[in-house]
């Protein structure tokens, strides 16, 4: 398996799309689609052919990069990485398809930024040299900022700047922590190293550990996002083009959760255990706050954005419960939320393309003219509030059952968020598709075009996956049955 080839192919495909768009109109989207299909096909074929146990990190590449500081180009994968890279490539395909008609200006440059951001995200999920990890962390930031700033909506520049500042400031805190860890490695071993597995052997004092842990935690909490560093998300989601929203909710938020699992909990187990009650409270507050704010929104994309804050609160609570069942629930939540939120944002984009408005007060009665769209909207809203039989239900059930064993009172309070999600889910569906149809200036009822074949393909694929995982969650959980990460961290931290 050559992850470098995957990332290089994505960037190259984006560059070719950018170049050939100047020669032939509409060629960019075909280049982007072909690139994602070929890369995804190669990745899936590699998984089928390679018979390797990825329960622990398997080093794929390790070569010297900046030798004077012993910085390496080092990539490794385990089941966690593979699941998240698979989700990334699936949603990359969805992003290309939902952009097919929406993006009409600078399309070549658009697809270059889209594919470059996806390549950066894959790098984040696979880098095990921490300087390289930071490099990919920045690589995925810049193209995403461009997507919002150039192809976004009315307040796109404000949203892009806010997204950039929040991410950049928190990233600098992480960079300071990375440099400090490398310096500590030099003090203890006599050589500088940014290699993740070298850092696992370091002995840190409790005071040093907590400060370094917070440097990483804040960066990842911003990207998750968690209260109180969440305010960039609603603006970024609202102003981003449809594919930008799908990528943000479906994958980019998962880089924050991945960082918490891979680095915060693994590198600083004792400090993470000490900090766990605070993190758990932040998770519960995020659940309730996100649900409440989602219910209060009139902008359909802001509603879905706040729902993401609520769902990511379950991940925070589960991870800091140091429980095997909760850990499995957190992983499943990452996948389920990636599919359901991506679908909801894609649906919001489809509705916007018809009525040119995100305001719920300008919608209503669309079921009459677009019953297929309404059916999918109901299914995805049901997935978001955890209807049994869909992936989100299993994910949140595991998260809450596991978290209850350590934080029974907090978990009971967090469960109220499920009620909130049902309320804002039904508000979304009722406001858009039920009730009396709006009338235009001539007194005619407003109707919209139902889903096209391309849109049916997008929504059908996402719904099928939500149903399959909901009925057979072992499709994902089989790789995490032992929950080695959670058990190892809990044992190290003395949490069990």
Q: How does pLDDT run across 445-480, given as a tens digit for each residue?
A: 777 888 899 999 999 999 999 999 999 999 888 888
CA nearest 128: which of 76, 169, 79, 88?
Answer: 76
pLDDT band at 496 (very low <50, low <70, confident <90, very high): very low
**Total count of residues recorded for the chain:** 496
Which residues partner with 445 through β-bridges?
Answer: 439
Between the alpha carbon of residue 179 and those of residues 84, 216, 412, 480, the distances in Å are 27, 12, 40, 32
Residue 411: predicted pLDDT: 94
pLDDT above 70 as % of the chain:
95
Which residues partner with 73 through β-bridges?
Answer: 63
Antiparallel, parallel or unpaired: β 58-66 and 71-77? antiparallel
Report the C-alpha gap between 148 and 241 in whole angstroms: 7
Residues 249, 304 contacting (CB under 8 angstroms): yes
Q: How does pLDDT run across 183-213, given as a tens digit for each residue?
A: 999 999 989 999 999 999 889 898 999 999 9
Q: How does pLDDT run across 337-358, given as a tens digit for each residue?
A: 999 999 999 999 999 988 888 8
Two structure tokens written together for 454: 């391309």
């Amino acid at each position: 398996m050559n992850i470098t080839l995957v990332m290089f192919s994505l960037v190259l495909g984006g560059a070719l799309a950018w170049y050939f768009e100047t020669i032939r109109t509409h060629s960019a989207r075909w280049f982007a689609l072909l690139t994602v299909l070929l890369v995804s096909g190669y990745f899936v074929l590699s998984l089928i052919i390679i018979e390797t146990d990825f329960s622990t990190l398997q080093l794929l590449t390790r070569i010297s990069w900046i030798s004077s500081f012993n910085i390496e180009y080092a990539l490794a994968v385990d089941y966690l990485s593979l699941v998240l890279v698979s989700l990334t490539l699936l949603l990359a395909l969805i992003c290309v398809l939902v952009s097919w008609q929406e993006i009409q200006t600078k399309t070549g440059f658009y697809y270059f930024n889209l594919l470059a951001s996806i390549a950066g995200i894959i790098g984040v999920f696979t880098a095990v040299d921490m300087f390289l990890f930071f490099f990919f962390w920045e690589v995925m930031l810049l193209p995403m900022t461009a997507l919002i700033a150039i192809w976004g909506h009315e307040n796109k520049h404000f949203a892009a700047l806010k997204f950039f500042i929040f991410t950049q400031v928190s990233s600098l805190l992480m960079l300071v922590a990375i440099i400090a860890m490398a310096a500590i490695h030099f003090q203890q071993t006599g050589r500088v190293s940014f290699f993740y597995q070298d850092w696992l052997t370091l002995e840190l004092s409790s005071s040093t550990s907590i400060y370094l842990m917070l440097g990483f935690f804040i960066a990842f909490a911003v990207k998750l996002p968690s209260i109180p560093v969440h305010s960039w998300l609603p603006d970024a989601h609202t102003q981003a083009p449809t594919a930008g929203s799908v990528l943000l909710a479906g994958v980019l938020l998962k880089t924050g959760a991945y960082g918490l699992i891979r680095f915060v909990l693994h590198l600083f187990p004792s400090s993470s255990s000490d900090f766990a009650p605070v993190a758990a409270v932040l998770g519960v507050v995020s659940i309730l706050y996100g649900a409440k704010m989602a219910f209060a929104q009139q902008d359909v994309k802001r509603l879905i954005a706040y729902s993401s804050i609520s769902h990511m609160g379950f991940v925070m609570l589960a991870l800091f419960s140091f429980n095997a069942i909760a850990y499995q629930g957190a992983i499943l939540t990452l996948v389920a939320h990636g599919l359901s939120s991506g679908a909801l944002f894609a649906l919001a984009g489809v509705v916007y393309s018809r009525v040119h408005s995100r305001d719920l007060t300008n919608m209503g009665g669309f079921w009459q003219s677009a019953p297929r769209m309404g059916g999918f909207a109901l299914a995805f809203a049901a997935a978001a509030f955890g209807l049994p039989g869909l992936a989100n239900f299993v994910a949140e059930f595991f998260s809450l059952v596991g978290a209850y064993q350590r934080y029974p009172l907090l978990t009971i309070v967090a469960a109220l968020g499920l009620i909130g999600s049902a309320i804002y889910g039904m508000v979304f569906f009722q406001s858009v598709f039920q009730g009396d149809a709006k009338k235009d200036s001539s007194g005619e009822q407003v109707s919209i075009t139902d889903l096209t074949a391309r849109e049916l393909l997008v929504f059908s694929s996402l719904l099928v996956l939500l149903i399959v995982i909901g009925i057979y969650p072992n499709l994902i959980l089989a790789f995490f049955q032992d929950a080695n990460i959670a058990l190892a961290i809990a044992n190290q931290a003395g949490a069990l």
